[in-house]
Amino acid sequence: MFDRPSPSLLIAEARRALEGGVAPGFPQKVVANALGIAQRQLEMGPALEEEERTRLVDLLGPEEDLASLNGRLAVAIRSASIDAEEPALINHLIRTTVAKLEIDQPAYPAFRAWRGSKPDQA
């Protein structure tokens, strides 16, 4: 599940900044980054969230919405009713983290290096 702010809020704030006259330099980069996050979440988010939900159903059982499943997973980890060394749990956590990075920070140097991308790829 993707964190706040939502794509619509990112777009609205970027628009507000642009309408107010964004200063050149870093403020422009912040607005461009926000729009990039919103675009990637709109394009890739639904598929990534469905993959996350499927993994959670495999781990936890009965199908529910993604927020409920994530809540149940947190309770299961806290209460140790799921083994922290469970390969399916570790796989889920890694894949969920990678999905968030794909949306929020695809050009982050350490992520790019881990993913095996060349510096000019984002």
Domain ranges across the chain: 7-115
Q: Which amino acid is at 78?
A: R
CB 121 within 8 A of CB 111: no
Of the chain, the percentage scoring pLDDT greater than 90 comes to 66
The span from the CA of 110 to the CA of 115, in Å, is: 8
Q: Per-residue confidence at 23, pLDDT binned at 50, 70, 90?
A: confident
Report the pLDDT value the prediction gives residue 1, as an integer from 0 to 100: 67
Give the pLDDT score at 118.
Answer: 56
Residues of the chain with pLDDT > 70: what percent?
93
pLDDT tens digits for 61-96? 987 899 999 999 999 999 999 999 999 999 999 999
pTM of the model: 0.79
Give the length of the chain: 122
Q: How confident is the model at residue 3 (pLDDT cuts 50, 70, 90)?
A: confident
